[in-house]
Amino acid sequence: MKVLLINGSPHAQGCTYTALSEVAAALEADGVNTELWQIGQMDVRGCIACHRCRELGKCVFDDAVNQAQEKLRLCDGLIVGSPVYYASANATLTAFLDRLFFSCGAMLAHKPAAAVVSARRAGTTATLDQLNKYFMLSQMPVVSSQYWNMVHGNSAQEVLQDQEGLQIMRTLGHNMAWLLRCMEAGKAAGVPLPPQEERVGTNFIR
C-alpha cells in the first residue's frame, strides 16, 4: 500500500513539510509506503476550461498535473498539504488541484484522502474546507483525526513545538493506514465497490 503526500508550499522543508513528515512517519510505522512530493516551486498554470481533458484523459498542459495522475494511479491514498495564504490554500496548489481533479477526478474515486494545513495564526478551517471539497466531489473517503488537521507556526522549528498539532498529524496517519487495511481486507473478502448511477447534471437554468 502506498500514500502520496503532495506539498503545495514553496518551502521544501517548511511548516507544511514538517506536518506532512509526521503523517508520513505514522503511515510508514504502520507498514504503508509513502512518497512526499513537493510542487510548491513548480510553474503550474491555472485551468483554462478548454475541456480537452474529457477527450484526452489528461490535461493539455503536460506538466506536474499529468505527472500526478501517473503517480496517483499507483497510490491507494492521498494527503494534500497547504500553507494558509489569506485564509485559503496557496495559489500554486489551487491551480494544481483544479486541473488535477478536473482532468482525472473520476480515477480518484474511493481512494481515501485528507488535507493538512499550516498557518501562522488563522484561516486554517476555511482552507481545510476548501481542500476537502476536492475530495468530496470525487467520492474520496475523507480521513479524519482527533481535531481538524492543522499545525501552527511560521517556521519548521515553531511547528515542532506545536505538540498538539504533531499528535493530530500522527493520528491522521494511523487512521489513514487503518482505513487502507480495512479496504484491502474488504477487497479480499469480495466486498464490491458501490453501484454508480449514470450522472445527472442539473445546471439550474430554466
Q: What residues make contact with ligand FMN under the rule CB under 6 A?
A: 9, 11, 14-17, 83-87, 118-123, 153-154
Nearer to ligand FMN, 50 or 87 (CB): 87
Q: Which is nearer to ligand FMN, 88 or 167 (CB)?
A: 88
CB 88 to ligand FMN: min, Å: 8
Identify which of residues 121 and 199 has a Cβ nearer to ligand FMN in the complex: 121
Per DSSP, the residues of the chain read: -EEEEEE--S-TTSHHHHHHHHHHHHHHHTT-EEEEEE-TTS--PPP----THHHHSS-SS-SHHHHHHHHHHT-SEEEEEEEEETTEE-HHHHHHHHHHHHHHGGGGTT--EEEEEEESSS-HHHHHHHHHHHHHTTTPPBP--SS-SEEE-SSHHHHHH-HHHHHHHHHHHHHHHHHHHHHHHHHHTTPPPPP-PPPP------
CA nearest neighbour of 113 among 71, 44, 175, 38: 175
CB of 13 to ligand FMN, least distance (A): 8
Least Cβ distance, residue 111 to ligand FMN (angstroms): 24
| Minimum separation from the CB atom of position 122 to ligand FMN (A) | 5
Q: Which residue is nearest to ligand FMN (CB)?
A: 14
Closer by beta carbon to ligand FMN, 103 or else 124: 124
- CB closer to ligand FMN, 153 vs 173: 153
Residue 187 CB, shortest distance to ligand FMN, in Å, is 35
Q: Please state the φ and ψ torsions of residue 37, each to the nearest 5 degrees.
A: -120, 125
